[in-house]
Amino acid sequence: MSDNEQENNKMKGNKFWTLRAKHGRDKIFKTPTIMLEAACEYFQWCEDNPLYETNLQKIKTSRDTEEIKLVDLPKMRALTMHGLCSFLHVNTMYFNQFEKSIKEKAAEKLTDEDKDFSLVITHIREIIYNQKFTGAAAGFLNANIIARDLGLKDKSETEHAGDINLTGEIKISYK
């Protein structure tokens, strides 16, 4: 028997896939409580580690003298899903797919744990949204950047009864 024939005979009886006890990887968060606790650690970390802006500030040293010094002023750190995922050592795709897999299950197939995970994920997203919105509304965060991130739009619509062509002419018809 040639080497090639011996190799083919070995492969016919190979059932290596039956040795695997489970499929897919373990959940990173075993319970919804662990997920929420991990998210709260991130929220606390953001609170404890603000960003700093260095400014020149006049400081009165005595009755008649002032000095100009560089002062580090703490600035609010916005909570973000990217920041949370980085803090948790997962990527946003993992987090989004985890959430999507729960939503795609039929209502009758949802376990109590699935429902709890869904509530926790929704709660996390709402905390992040609220912190960014209130931070921007109070002027602690850049309102334009946060509004775009949150999908907020300031719409104004104008109606007209005319045709506009590409040559720049405006035709107005009065009714």
Question: Is the pLDDT assigned to residue 58 strictly greater than 90?
Answer: no
CA distance 109 to 42: 31
Please state the domain count of the chain: 1
Average pLDDT in the chain: 81
Within a domain: 19: no
Within a domain: 147: yes
pLDDT tens-digit profile of 1-55?
Answer: 566 665 555 555 555 555 555 555 567 889 999 999 999 999 999 999 999 999 9
* This prediction's pTM: 0.68
Full residue range of the structural domain in which residue 135 is found? 25-50+77-151
Within a domain: 159: no
pLDDT tens-digit profile of 92-118?
Answer: 998 899 889 888 887 778 888 989 999
Within a domain: 165: no
Within a domain: 70: no
Within a domain: 42: yes
pLDDT score at 110: 86
> CATH number, domain at 134?
1.10.132.80
Which residues, 6+ apart, have CB-to-CB distance to 125 below 8 Å?
81
